[in-house]
Amino acid sequence: MYDSNELLKPGERIDELHRNDYKIIQNTKLFCFGMDAVLLSGFTKVLLDENVLDMGTGTGIIPILLEAKTPGRHFTGLEIQPESADMARRSVLMNKLEDKIDIVVGDIKEASRIFGAASFDVVTCNPPYLNQSNGILSPETAKAIARHEILCTLEDVVRETARILKPNGRFYMVHRPFRMVDIINICSLYKLEAKRMRLVYPYADKEPNMVLIECVKGGGRNLIVEAPLIVYKEPGKYTDEILDIYGYSI
């Protein structure tokens, strides 16, 4: 048995996840998870007994949420930053999920070497959104790595995903709409065909600021565009669907 406070290090906090009484350890000086990770966990489909890899898992938010929401067999998080991986491992211990979730320190660019070819049914990723020509680099290294393509590019993510997915395996990613041309072209280059897409809008009358996409390894080219996902019905008030994805009672 672990006392939650015994697992904390200086500068860290424990946040509630509103699923199965799970909690997560975070440090605001590093990179805390955002809505994009939660929405990706709601968009991802994991079937009974499937094995899942989350690439660039940070503090482990997506594996922990997917374990709570889906009947998957096992979940693995791959993270290159040791400090974030350490927090993820301690969150796994705090939630008593050692038998269901593994956290591995490693580079996304080496994922196929680390895990082997065709080793997962599902891969998820909330990758850095910005390449070096977009946005202002954070002065804090951990945040810069999370937001910008410093240690890996979109093509690195897609290439390694294609290698480690089983035939007909599924890839789920959250990204920014302005990268959609790159996303679809690069995924198609590696035989990951876009099958399902959903745009996320802050308000119904605003432009979308996120895109959720599902690709299938070796799949056909029929793409389903789902109904828009609206975050706020008015300032400060989430829509019922967002509340449901977060696990709040409506």
pLDDT in tens, 31-44: 889 999 999 999 99
C-alpha separations of 233 from 60, 127, 200, 203 in Å: 29, 28, 13, 7
Rg (CA), the chain: 17
| pLDDT, tens digit, 9 for 90 and up, residues 65-102 | 999 999 999 999 999 999 999 999 999 999 999 999 99
Give pLDDT, residue 130.
Answer: 55
Mean pLDDT of the region 47-51: 98
pLDDT at 233 over 60: yes
User: With bands split at pLDDT 50, 70 and 90, how would you rate the model's confidence at 249?
Assistant: low
Helices (H), strands (E): how many in the chain? 8, 13
Q: Which residue has the tokens 């019922």?
A: 240
Dist. CA 33–CA 50, nearest whole Å: 24
Residue numbers of the domain that contains 229: 4-246
The packing angle between helices 35-43 and 61-69, to 10°, is 40
Q: What is the pTM of this model?
A: 0.90
| pLDDT, tens digit, 9 for 90 and up, residues 1-33 | 456 667 899 999 999 999 999 999 999 888 889
CATH code at position 190: 3.40.50.150
| Number of independent structural domains in the chain | 1
